[in-house]
Structure 1
């Protein structure tokens, strides 16, 4: 898979974001209503990635600045036909790497109990439960997680 930095409102990104929103509709009965502005995912405030397989967009994810040292993961998604091949893990690793390189010391995210695959991915990558935040903080299906970022050598970032 070829990972490329794109604008949040790039046509390939929009196609994948529409796909993840439809996934939320299937699992939760509605789209994610968390406020998102495309400019939040433009450097230096954030980053959005699309993963391509044979020039076809198959995966996406992004981060946006949240607070002084945190970034929030958003719109992690892999199309059905490309699942189970490690693409989500590759996107996640690159988002962690780029957030760390941009000075973020921690990543946080909001997911949900009806996304067991996502929760398993995040837990296996070292994410742990944190206090709930955002528009779903009072939703019993919401799960919020966080992780302290490390550099490529495994040393914790000072901060």
Structure 2
């Protein structure tokens, strides 16, 4: 995979993105922290959220239709995200996450760029995502990365969250 630069306090820091499976050792810390974050924001339990996160079929986030990338800084996972097929021309972003000790450094935006590049390589022309209503940082990230907020989520099988975004690639 490729290296990409992010800037923090004027210093350029290089992230190396690697493709992983959702049960990969590199993905575990980020998924565990995501479970804590969702449980806290949405008044759930970490165990329940973790079971929910792991409840997605792993092959949805695997080639040829999906993928998962982890961004490494000095071989330590600091950001990550996944995508899966939404329809023939659209990939759906899932599990966009940055370690709480590495936020506000531009890593999430660099992650979106890496995911979008991989999504284009897979032949998709659009990206779609939904997010919860207690994640204003996520909303700001997607807007700053050129995503358009949709009036309502698109019809889909499975869970649908109240805030939706789309982007043409």
Q: TM-score, normalised by structure 1?
A: 0.84
Q: Who is 1:70 aligned against?
A: 90
Which of 61, 64, 72 does residue 52 from structure 1 map onto?
A: 72
TM alignment of 1:24-103, pairs within 5 A: 24-30=38-44, 31=49, 33=52, 36-103=56-123
Q: Deviations over 1:109-157 (max 9, x none)?
A: 11122111110010111111223145554x6xx21111111xxxxxxxx
CA separation in 2, counterparts of 1:56 and 1:68? 34
Which of 12, 16, 30 does residue 2 from structure 1 map onto?
A: 16
More deviation in 24-33 or 2-11?
24-33
- Secondary structure (helix, strand or coil) at the match of 1:4 reads strand
State how many pairs are aligned. Answer: 146
Q: Deviations over 1:52-76 (max 9, x none)?
A: 1111111110111111111100000
Cα distance, 1:15 vs structure 2: 2.2
Gaps of at least 5 residues in structure 2 are: 1-14
- Secondary structure (helix, strand or coil) at the match of 1:12 reads coil
CA separation in 1, counterparts of 2:35 and 2:146? 25
Q: Who is 1:111 aligned against?
A: 131
Q: Who is 2:32 aligned against?
A: 18
TM alignment of 1:115-154, pairs within 5 A: 115-130=135-150, 131-133=152-154, 134=156, 135-137=158-160, 142-149=162-169
Q: CA RMSD in A?
A: 1.7
CA separation in 2, counterparts of 1:89 and 1:37? 26
Structure 1 residue runs of 4+, over 6 Å off? none
- Secondary structure (helix, strand or coil) at the match of 1:11 reads coil
- Secondary structure (helix, strand or coil) at the match of 1:17 reads helix
Distance 1:145 1:10, change over 3 A: same
Q: TM-score, normalised by structure 2?
A: 0.80
